Amino acid sequence: MGEHIPAYVDALCQEIRKVAASSGRRLPVHTIFWGGGTPSLVPLEGLGQVIEAIREGFELLPGFEMTLEANPGTVTPAYLDGLHELGFNRISFGMQSARSDELRLLERQHTTFDVMDAVRWARAAGFSNLSLDLIFNLPSQTLANWQETVEAAIAIQPEHLSLYSLTIEEGTPLFHWRKKGLVSEPDPDLAADMYEWADERLERAGFTQYEISNWARTAADGELLSCRHNLQYWRDQPYFGFGAGAHAYLEDQRLANALGIKGFMHMVQERDAQYPVGPATIETWQIDQKTAMQETMMVGLRLVREGVSQSGFAERFGVRIEEVFAKEIQDLVQKGLLEIQHDRIHLTRRGRLLGNQVFMQFVGE
């Protein structure tokens, strides 16, 4: 990939400019999130070029959030200084685990010491909003091992933590090892114990859970330091997606870009944009009102504090929520998985453990 980075950056800038120009107006942007793969491998000059293309085509709103996902083993003090100078004000490190045996299992090249160095350098560079990603329910992971990782993460004092249960994807080494019996099957009961313990421990450490997998501290001004970019997804609001394999949600359409780097670059070079369709878009799905209502329930209920606003639902769709989902809501309330407080519908604590079962009630087929 390294040799393709300059050409890829050029193509990414072209894509941004083509989509922005075809929209016919300078659309407002309040968050930018660099993720997927390891964006921290892109040199500062390349990141600067992309930011310039965004500034040319879009209106960056005051106080915008700009996040970079980074592997802790790929950053240096100079790189982090440069990121901050470019306008990045939030960084997310993929810590995953505090144990070397678990990091080897996940085929991660960094160590816990790399994480600590990366965080120290980020603080020195001026980052005051920092997130760590952790993974639980690993093969052979014990509750004590998971507790060790969570305690180590708390000690690093991030503003935000994302905790994900391991998903073993087909085609990965872990998938083949599990198929051959070389690693143990995930234990859902143990995973639930890990999740509940972490929730209680993070609450005692001053974190607030705001989404099923995410916890944040409160800033001095009282603002909860949630990932503002991801809130856009969970509130089922529009977003752009640029780059190979990127997805977008614009004008009631979901759009997907070409996945391969070379194919993406070729398409951007050869095709024009017709907003909201970009030059590298290969798939589009029109989202009708019923689908949008289902998706609003599915993603909105992930926000454990905010939930789904009944008045907001009615304002958006022109129909009351009970006219569409009365049976589903009543059933889930009776099962103790949902609760209604004033205007908002929330998952209960038990519902957070069984979130997928709740969401499927609204998505149906």
Reported as a single tens digit per residue, the pLDDT across 129-173 is 999 999 999 988 999 999 999 999 999 999 999 999 987 666 666
pLDDT at residue 301 in the model? 96
C-alpha 309/C-alpha 321 separation (Å) is: 9
- Range of 299's domain? 289-363
From the list 246, 253, 303, 304, the residue with the least C-alpha distance to 276 is 253
| Res. 363 pLDDT band, cuts 50 70 90 | confident
Q: Which pair of structure tokens corresponds to residue 9? A: 């950056």
For the chain, the residue count is 365
Task: Please tell me whether residues 228 and 340 are part of one structural domain.
Answer: no
Query: In whole angstroms, what separates CA 338 from the centre of its chain?
Result: 24
Dihedral, CA of residue 306, residue 308, residue 311 and residue 312, to nearest 10: 90
Antiparallel, parallel or unpaired: β 160-165 and 130-136: parallel
**Does residue 175 have a pLDDT over 80?**
no
Beta bridge mates, 281: 257
From the list 149, 162, 40, the residue with the least C-alpha distance to 99 is 149
Structural domain includes residue 254: no
The whole-number average pLDDT for the span 247-260 is: 96
Task: Please tell me whether residues 220 and 312 are part of one structural domain.
Answer: no
C-alpha 357/C-alpha 28 separation (Å) is: 36
Maximum C-alpha span of the chain: 58
From the list 266, 317, 259, 323, the residue with the least C-alpha distance to 288 is 317
pLDDT digits (tens, 9 = 90+) for 256-287: 999 999 999 999 999 999 999 999 999 999 99
Q: What is the pTM of this model?
A: 0.93
CATH number at residue 124: 3.20.20.70
Please give the C-alpha separations between residue 229 and each of 11, 120, 319, in angstroms, as whole numbers: 23, 24, 28
Task: Please tell me whether residues 228 and 293 are part of one structural domain.
Answer: no
Task: Please tell me whether residues 206 and 327 are part of one structural domain.
Answer: no
| Res. 187 pLDDT band, cuts 50 70 90 | confident
Task: Please tell me whether residues 212 and 313 are part of one structural domain.
Answer: no
